[in-house]
Amino acid sequence: MRMILRIQDLLFAALAVIGAVAILMLMVHVVTDVVMRNVANQPVPATYEIVTNYYMVALAFIPLAWLERSGGMVNVEVLEAALTPRMIWYSDKLVALISTAIYLALAWVTFAASLKTFAAGTFVLAQTVPIPTWPAYFLPPLGFALASVTTGIRLFAPFGQETVE
C-alpha cells in the first residue's frame, strides 16, 4: 500500500506541475492580451476562447484527484459522533465506494462525449479563425478517472491507516 501511495503522490506532484504551468500560461496570456490591447491596440486573437475552453477547464477538472486525496471533496460526518472507530471506517469505505462509482460513471460519460467532439472536430470561431476545442473535452474524463483511482485506492486502505494527509 505504501508503494501505491508513493506512486500516487508522484502523480499528484506531476498534476501540480501541470496546474502551475496552466496558471502561468493563463496569466501570461491574459496579461499579454491586456498590454497589447492597451499599448498597440492589437489584442491577442482568441484570448477569451482559449482561456474559457482550455485553461479554465484544466483548472477545474485536473485537481479533482488531489482534492480527493487531501479529503477536500466528499465527507460524511452526520452520524460520526455516535459511531465507533470501526463503524466510521466502514462508513468511509462506503463513501469511497460510492464516490468511485460516480467518478467512473462521470469519466465514462464525459469520455464518450469527448470522442464525439473529436470525431466532429468541434471548434469555436474567434472572429473568422476556427479554434479547435475538441482537445479540451478530454480533460474532464481525465480528472474524473484520476479522482476515481484516488477514491478506489482509499477502498483498500487497512483499518487504522489514514490515506488522507
pTM: 0.82
3-state DSSP assignment of residue 130: strand
Instruction: Tell me phi and psi for residue 123, to 5 degrees.
Output: -150, 165
C-alpha 47/C-alpha 126 separation (Å) is 9
Residue 115, CA distances (Å) to 37, 81, 133 in order: 36, 46, 12
Tell me the per-residue pLDDT of 16-43, one tens digit each, with 9 for 90 and over. 788 888 899 999 999 999 999 999 999 9
**pLDDT score for 76:** 64
Enter the C-alpha cell of residue 44: 491577442
Kindly tell me if the per-residue pLDDT of 164 is higher than 50. no
Instruction: Tell me phi and psi for residue 132, to 5 degrees.
Output: -65, 130
The pLDDT-based confidence of 165 (bands split at 50, 70, 90) is: very low
Task: Please give the average per-residue pLDDT across 60-78, as a whole number.
Answer: 77
Q: What is the DSSP letter of 159?
A: T
The pLDDT-based confidence of 74 (bands split at 50, 70, 90) is: low
Proportion of the chain in helix, strand, coil states, percent, rounded to 5: 75, 5, 20
3-state DSSP assignment of residue 36: helix
Average pLDDT over the chain, rounded to an integer:
87
Residue 157, CA distances (Å) to 10, 63, 88, 121, 151 in order: 18, 22, 13, 42, 10
Kindly tell me if the per-residue pLDDT of 49 is higher than 80. yes
Residue 48, CA distances (Å) to 23, 52, 96, 99, 134 in order: 15, 6, 37, 34, 16
Tell me the per-residue pLDDT of 138-156, one tens digit each, with 9 for 90 and over. 999 999 999 999 899 888 8
Q: Where are the domains of the chain?
A: 2-155
Kindly tell me if the per-residue pLDDT of 4 is higher than 90. no
Task: Please give the average per-residue pLDDT across 61-75, as a whole number.
Answer: 78
